[in-house]
Structure 1
Amino acid sequence: MLDFDDLKSDGSTDSKLLDRGSIQLIYQSEQCLQTVREALASEGLADPETLSGELMACFDQLAGSQAQLVIVEAGNMTSTDLTSDNLSEQLKLLRRLLPNQCAIILLGEDNRISIERQWRRRGIRYLYWPATRDDLIELVRECLAPTATRSTHSALRIGIVGAKGGAGCSFLAAQLARALAVETGQPGLLVDHAENGSNLHVMLGQSELEARSRETRTSLSGEPILDFVTASSLQIRISQHLNYLGSGASELNRQAVDLLAWDNSFVVEDGGSLLLSHNPEWLSSLNIVLLIIPATLSGLAQGRLFLEQLQNEYADGERNPRCILVLNHNQPGRQITRQLAEQYFKRTLQAELPWIDRCEDWLITGTLPESGCPKLAAPLNDLARTLLGKTQRDESLFNRLLHWLPESWSRRLG
């Protein structure tokens, strides 16, 4: 029997390893559940938290997980399935829902060494299943050891860019960051890149929010040199899972984000309007560019111009960020419809934000729009799930009806 005393006595690992919740199991067969439970119990480890079913079906239940190890049974997957892009994308999403230092073990029914090596390169341990109790415990021990090499992952970086000034970047950045914090239950960062004043404090309902600055060392070229401790001190806590970063200096912000990205699940960056944000170096650092398009003729025209510039910039296919289009009805009255916008761009728009009467009242008073406005909450939450790769929740008939009612009625009923 293997001995875990060295893990419990090491100063960098405490009794939390034995707590329920430190290990989570996503299983599809009773044999897997029984074998894992028996193996962990034989080594004095607590019964794992368990979720039954396919991986995608368990994502909503994993939000806020504090696990140090997650074991996933792949089920009756073929060799092709085990090496597919689909499974790889699912496991990428799983990482977004877990602490950055959490280890993952994948149990699969293919014993080729090439598959084990392939997943190891991606930072995931693979074990041929069914395995013996000793083989499973050996791998668990290796993953939980204080000296284990953790395969940390950088945050999902999302840049908010407006097709033109006043598109609603700051509003969407603030509300999307909050929605992502709820969906993941993991730490996230909201970055304000404005150098000459910002209105994010209004969007966040934080009247006292101000950019923090710190004295930093500089290089021979005069650029600031930042370390992790100093970068962390620039953050301002907004909620349990969300911090704000806005130094008022673009280079300082860039360095801080590069450092803090390894300590967060997601980073939402408010890039402002097109003219201020078309920065190839910044865009290439993003995983997703979220283009906000006002529902006007000029908004559509400027949006297509940005897409053409983005396509030309990354024509070689290197570090090409995914671009998502959002139609924002930021003015009252008759405007461009989603159908017309999709015909114009010849592509699908991933989200549409409705015009909300007296929305500024909520912002000024610090009341979150989504707490009193179902019409806005639904598209924001759907957009957050889209960015994470989650499936959309089935909306109730009541909430669907609210979307079509006058705003005054929606507020009373919602």
Structure 2
Amino acid sequence: MFDLVDKLQSKPLENTVKKETITSVLFHQTQECVELVDEAFRFENINVPTMVANGDEKIKQHVRESLVEIVIVELNLSENVTKDMERISHLLPNSASVIVIGSEDAISTIRNLKEMGFYYVFWPITKQELIDFVRNVNNNRQRNSGLGKDRTAKKVGIWGTKGGVGATMLTAEIAFELSNLKKSSSLVVDHDFRGGNLDIFLGLKRFEKKPVTRASLASSVDTTYATSMVKKVDNMLAVMSLESDDLNELELKEYVRTLTAELAGNYNFIIEDLSRASNSKQDLDYISTSCDVIVLLIEPTVSSVREAKRTMRSLEMADSSARCLFVLNYTVAEKAATISPADIKEFLGREPDVVLPNEPRMSKLVLEQKHIYQHDYPVSQNLHKLTAMLLGQSDEGGKNSWLRRMLKRGK
């Protein structure tokens, strides 16, 4: 009897209550919120979230280096919760459920965040209310339901108005800037099934398109299979580029769209390279309904601007809800252009949103596997402005100082 008691007493006491594991992070603005979240999670014996100050750079670093199930974003000091979440949404992985804590008491805020796939909690909140809410969100995750399950990549279509306007180059540069500078996971979709130079602009050596057979069409497509059809450029950027000896171009286009739809939840951005050499009316119909933003790329020539006008009309007739951005790319020196910015404005009824001035060092950069976004050229600065517009960030004035100078010359 005494031996049994001794054995029981000598055995270390073990904590029989298992901690509830929810991998989370709090991006905070106030110490008050930190303390409430910390105390609430500890009291309920749940893993306490990692505490990180709410700032774009810190958000970028943390979410890309950690696997997070639930992201809590405090915006109690925000003047406009919706705008702030629009600004940072591209930094957050689509796989995570996002809870926004804010003191903005408006139905429109709840509605706007819900449309973006985010939960909203009004501050002040009690510890018990917070924990109940977090558990409910976590339960939704387990059942693959609730907000965020359908949060998908923002789709951007780069539409070239004619061959040689630089659509593939712009696709690659935007993709690199979004992934490397903005830390937004991105997928580039190649719509040229025969050749093209996308691999060169992406700096891929010994690149080969993924082959597709007719038998592939009969196979079921899931995320795992779709992922196998993608080539990683780096940790944040991938490309889908297919070819086939069996399928015609229309069949390949449909197949690419199926794969892209399956992968939409894996990336922040999907960027479609629709160079004029490979796009069609069916592509125009597709981007008018599927893309969030359409970048209409023109050059200072009559044929390019006329095609831009036709494209605009087609998008209007399709009643497209996509935001359309006009980019004027000087593929030749300014003095060699056959049409002035003033003529373009008059014909299209609007100024280009972004002007990319001619960069004579472009070919050398491509051959050296360097990129425009890495430099401080005038074209680089305007590329940054275009990327900011894709992210919904405000333009920092002087947007078209270069364009205004050109317009003045054209008068």
TM-score, normalization: structure 1? 0.76
- The 1:349–1:90 alpha-carbon spacing in structure 2 relative to 1, beyond 3 Å, is farther
Measure how far apart 1:116 and its partner are: 6.2
DSSP-derived class of the 1:308 partner: helix
2:36 is equivalent to residue 35 of structure 1: yes
Q: CA deviation at 1:39?
A: 2.6
Of 120, 128, 134, the residue aligned with 1:126 is 120
Q: Does 1:282 align with 2:280?
A: no
CA contact (8 A) 1:26 1:70 kept: no
- 3-state DSSP of counterpart to 1:302: helix
2:121 is aligned with what amino acid?
A: L
Whether the 8 Å contact between 2:113 and 2:119 is mirrored in structure 1 is yes
- 1:261 matched residue in structure 2: 264
Q: What SS does structure 2 have at the residue aligned with 1:164?
A: coil
Unaligned runs of 5+ in 1: 53-57, 405-414
Q: For residues 371-386 of structure 1, what are the structure 2 equivalents within 5 Å? A: 371-372=374-375, 374-386=377-389
Q: 1:5 and 2:18 equivalent?
A: yes
Aligned residues: 365
* 1:322 to partner: Cα distance: 1.4
Does the 8 Å CA contact 2:81/2:104 hold for their aligned counterparts? no
The residue correspondences of 1:185-204 to structure 2 (distance < 5 A) are 185-204=183-202
| Distance in 2, Cα, partners of 1:59 & 1:191 | 27
- 2:185–2:236 Cα contact (<8 Å) kept: yes
SS in 1 for 2:326: strand
What is the match of residue 24 of structure 1?
26
Q: What corresponds to 2:59 in structure 1?
A: 62
Distance (whole Å) between structure 2 residues aligned to residue 76 and residue 243 of structure 1: 36
Q: CA deviation at 1:184?
A: 3.7
Structure 1 pair 91–5 and aligned structure 2 pair: CA distance change class (3 A): farther
Q: Aligned partners of 2:105 and 2:371: how far apart in 1?
A: 52
Asked if 1:234 corresponds to 2:239, the answer is: no
Q: Give the counterpart of 2:242 among 247, 254, 257.
A: 247
Give the match's secondary structure for 1:243: strand
In structure 2, runs of 5+ residues without a counterpart are: 1-15, 244-251, 406-411
Given the superposition, is the C-alpha separation of residues 65 and 345 from structure 1 closer, same or farther in structure 2, using an over 3 Å criterion? farther
Match of 2:301 in 1: 296
Retained in 2: the 8 A contact 1:261–1:267? yes
**Does the CA-based 8 Å contact 1:338-1:352 persist in structure 2?**
no
| Deviation by residue 1:94-113 (Cα, 9 ceiling, x = unmatched) | 33210112222233447799
Given that 1:181 and 1:188 are in contact with CA atoms closer than 8 Å, whether structure 2 keeps it comes out as yes
Residue deviations 1:340-399 (CA, integer Å, cap 9, x gap): 53343222422111111131122123222333453332222221111011235699xxxx
Q: What's 2:360 paired with? A: 357
Residue type of the alignment partner of 2:326: L
1:206 aligned partner, one-letter code: L
Quote the Cα distance in structure 2 between the aligned partners of 1:295 and 1:183: 30
Distance 1:291 1:110, change over 3 A: closer
Query: What is the CA–CA distance in structure 1 between the aligned matches of 2:325 and 2:111, rounded to whole Å?
Result: 34
Q: 1:112 to 1:291 in 2, by over 3 A?
A: closer
For residue 142 of structure 1, the aligned residue among 136, 140, 144 is: 136
1:310-353 CA-partner distances (Å, limit 9, x unpaired): 11122xxxx52211110000112413454553343222422111
Alignment of 1:163 with 2:161, yes or no, is yes
Q: AA paired with 2:18?
A: D
Pairwise CA distance, 1:307? 0.7
Cα gap change, 1:257/1:107 in structure 2, threshold over 3 Å: closer, same or farther? same
Change (3 A) 1:122 1:374: closer
- Please say if residues 27 and 53 of structure 2, whose CA atoms lie closer than 8 Å, have aligned partners that are also in contact: yes
Supply the AA of the counterpart residue of 1:5: K
In the alignment, which residue of structure 2 is the partner of 1:71? 72
Larger gyration radius, structure 1 or structure 2: 2
SS at match of 1:5: coil
CA RMSD between the two structures: 3.4
> How far, CA to CA, are the matches of 1:98 and 1:187 in structure 2?
9
CA distance in 2, matches of 1:363, 1:48: 42
1:268 CA drift (Å): 0.5
1:97 to 79, 84, 91: 91
* Aligned-partner Cα distance in 1 for 2:280–2:219: 21
2:26–2:74 CA contact under 8 A, matched in 1: no
Distance (Å, rounded) in 1 between the aligned partners of 2:60 and 2:133: 25
Q: CA deviation at 1:231?
A: 1.4
* SS at 2:210 equivalent: coil
Deviation at 1:295, TM superposition (A): 1.9
Equivalent residues in 2 for 1:362-401, closer than 5 Å: 362-372=365-375, 374-392=377-395
2:249 maps to none
C-alpha offsets along residues 66-101 of structure 1, whole Å, 9 cap, x if unaligned? 243333344378xxx9xxxx7445434433210112
Deviations 1:18-56 (A, max 9, x none): xxxx312243x443343233333444534633335xxxx
Q: Secondary structure at the match of 1:198?
A: coil
Is the Cα contact below 8 Å between 1:25 and 1:72 reproduced in 2? yes
SS at match of 2:196: coil
* Contact persistence 2:171–2:271 (CA under 8 A): yes
Aligned equivalents of 1:39 and 1:306: distance in 2? 55
Number of the residue aligned with 2:209: 211
The DSSP-based 3-state class of the residue aligned with 1:331 is coil
Is the alpha carbon distance of 1:356 and 1:49 closer, same or farther for their aligned partners in structure 2, counting shifts above 3 Å?
Answer: same
Q: Is the 8 A contact 2:185 2:269 kept in 1?
A: yes
Amino acid at match of 2:353: Q
Letter matched to residue 60 of structure 2: A
> 1:225 offset after TM fit, Å?
5.0
